Amino acid sequence: MGTSHSGSNNSTPPGGSAPSGSSVPGPAGGPPPGASGPSPSGEIAKKQRILLVEDEPDLVRGLTDVLEFEGFDVCNHMEGRPGVREMRERGADLVILDLMLPDINGYQVCEEIRTFNQVVPIIILTARGQELDKIRGLEAGADDYVTKPFSIGELLARIKAILRRLGRTQGKELETIRIGSCEINLKKHTLTRARKTQTLTFYEVELLKMLFERADQPVSRDEILDKIWGIEAYPTNRTVDNFVVKLRKKLEENQHHPHHILTVYGYGYKLVP
């Protein structure tokens, strides 16, 4: 298929390990965010695989070094189509996706991945101030975004927060919940209403679950951000609102007159099952 030039497993030279003296804030600067406490179980996890679809060589090199240093397996593709193929054939635990790629754009990559994998967390890299890019990316099925230029520490914290929550979700817990006439399968990430089944993304499920656990009580945007995204004051309150808009589309009979996910003005949201 002639893609060897953009091949897999990046171009880190043998022996190149931790970043040294680069402008990239690396793990040498102290414990990574969110990793200050002792590991809860103390066991050694198997290496998690990150698919990095990005065409800026410097960024690829910097990210790969840091992620490998943090114990991830990293696979890079410089173009979108080989990235989708990689995901289909070998899979990954998380995808970091640039929007501007030489062949197809990041939204298309995201949509294509979502046709066969609804669960893998996808973080998109957007340019500063491109609010529409973020919304479009989230609509295409991305779970999260970071804005270029970003610090690698920030991206790492997001990656870890998502993977931590995903690990927790795959445990026991409730399998299905009912909201109105909808049945939501929290493990399969599906929502069924009027015999029509739609898929939910990772954060949509997390948000529904949190609101459901606190049914009939207002939950603040700040708390949602903190508990679901795992990082204080990030991303922005708009992120929560965007996810609510997407959820209402799927959940409500009339998304403009919601009966289940209600806005609590100036505060947050309340779920009425």
H helices of the chain, in order, are 57-69, 80-89, 106-116, 131-139, 152-169, 202-213, 221-224, 237-251
**In whole angstroms, how close is the CB of 100 to Ca ion at the nearest point?**
4
How is residue 106 written in tokens?
């990041």
Q: How far is the CB of 149 from Ca ion (least distance, A)?
A: 13
Evaluate whether 264 touches 211 at the Cβ level (below 8 Å). Answer: no
Q: Which residues bind Ca ion (CB under 5 A)?
A: 55, 98, 100
Nearer to Ca ion, 60 or 138 (CB): 60
Q: Which is nearer to Ca ion, 55 or 103 (CB)?
A: 55
Q: Which is nearer to Ca ion, 125 or 191 (CB)?
A: 125
The answer to whether 190 touches 199, Cβ cutoff 8 Å, is yes
Residue, CB closest to Ca ion: 100
- What is the end-to-end Cα distance of the chain in Å, rounded? 50
- Of 100 and 210, the one with the shorter C-beta distance to Ca ion is 100
- Long-range contact set of residues 80-83: C-beta below 8 Å, sequence gap at least 24: 80/53, 80/104, 80/105, 80/106, 80/108, 80/109, 81/3, 82/1, 82/3, 82/6, 83/51, 83/53, 83/109
Residue closer to Ca ion, measured from CB, 87 or 207: 87
| Contact (Cβ atoms closer than 8 angstroms) between residue 252 and residue 202 | no
Shortest reach from residue 63's CB to Ca ion, in Å = 13
Least CB distance from residue 99 to Ca ion, whole Å? 7
Query: Shortest Cβ distance from residue 211 to Ca ion (Å)?
Result: 36
CB of 69 to Ca ion, least distance (A): 23
CA distance 195 to 176: 16
Our CB check for Ca ion shows the closer of 84 and 211 to be 84
